[in-house]
């Protein structure tokens, strides 16, 4: 199936039959990336009286309880409620689901303290002024990202200056293949999150951050049609499924 969308005063064809899934499947147990010392996900059959929700154990249907934490168990999308005392839910903030997005591969830079960060774009990494979303693929881009255990290892993060730059340049949705845009241990400062959401000066409640995505190496940098899928949860974050589609110009 193909659709046509208008962008930069031109018509573009989007092939919905060729999705590129940027999410990591959330599995029971340790076959997931994990961060912030958050317990591993658990999927367990429900037990009610004599009923056990498992066909393998003799029941007529499978029915599981899921024990997950979106922020540490895999691909997730979060809203400004992640850093506010006021309860703000992801389903309240993300009310549009399709965007023009730029995929950019970025080399990490080591700071004087030994940390690795995603810095401001270099001169040869330009940000298209007409996209609403930016997808950052950090290099090197190994398959180990799919099961990486980040807890206690001070993983790479984004500089607050970059997040402020993105906010000032109209990026509403930021997607990264890291466990957080902020440092693992920062004393609660959350400087990159606050810079991207422009909090508390002028909060951008419509903006979202998606973390722990994975972009295959064979997907080239460029402009894509992005769909962000979430569960309608009354929480600041949801496990999510960002999907991108190649676009072709129509003359």
What pLDDT is recorded for position 105?
Answer: 95
Percent of the chain with pLDDT over 70: 98
Question: Does position 181 have pLDDT exceeding 80, yes or no?
Answer: yes
What pLDDT is recorded for position 96?
Answer: 97
Question: Does position 251 have pLDDT exceeding 70, yes or no?
Answer: no
Flag the least confident range among 119-123, 145-149, 201-205. Answer: 119-123
Q: Report helix, strand or coil for 65.
A: strand
Domains of the chain, CATH where assigned: 17-25+72-249 (3.50.30.50)
81-138: pLDDT as tens digits: 999 999 999 999 999 999 999 999 999 999 999 999 999 887 667 889 899 999 999 9
CA–CA distance from 122 to each of 21, 33, 198, 246 (Å)?
27, 29, 23, 25
């Amino acid at each position: 199936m193909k659709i046509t969308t208008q962008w930069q005063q031109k018509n573009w064809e989007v092939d919905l039959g060729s999705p590129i899934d940027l999410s990591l499947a959330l599995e029971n147990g340790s076959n997931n990336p994990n961060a912030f010392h958050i317990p591993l996900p658990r999927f367990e059959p429900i037990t009610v009286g004599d009923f056990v929700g498992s066909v393998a154990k003799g029941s007529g249907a499978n029915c599981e309880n899921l024990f997950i934490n979106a922020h540490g168990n895999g691909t997730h999308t979060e809203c400004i409620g992640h850093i506010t005392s006021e309860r703000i839910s992801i389903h309240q903030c993300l009310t549009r689901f399709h965007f023009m997005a730029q995929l950019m591969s970025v080399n990490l830079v080591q700071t004087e303290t030994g940390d690795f960060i995603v810095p401001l774009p270099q001169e040869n990494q330009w940000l298209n002024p007409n996209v609403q979303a930016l997808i950052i693929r950090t290099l090197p881009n190994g398959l180990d990202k799919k099961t990486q255990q980040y807890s206690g290892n001070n993983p790479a993060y984004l500089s607050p200056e970059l997040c402020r730059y993105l906010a000032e340049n109209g990026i509403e949705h930021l997607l990264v293949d890291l466990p957080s845009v902020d440092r693992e241990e920062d004393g609660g400062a959350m400087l990159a999150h606050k810079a991207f959401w422009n909090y508390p000066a002028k909060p951008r409640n419509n903006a979202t951050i998606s973390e722990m995505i994975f972009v295959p190496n064979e997907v080239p940098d460029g402009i894509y049609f992005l769909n962000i899928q979430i569960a309608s949860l009354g929480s600041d974050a949801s496990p999510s499924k960002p999907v991108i589609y190649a676009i072709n110009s129509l003359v």
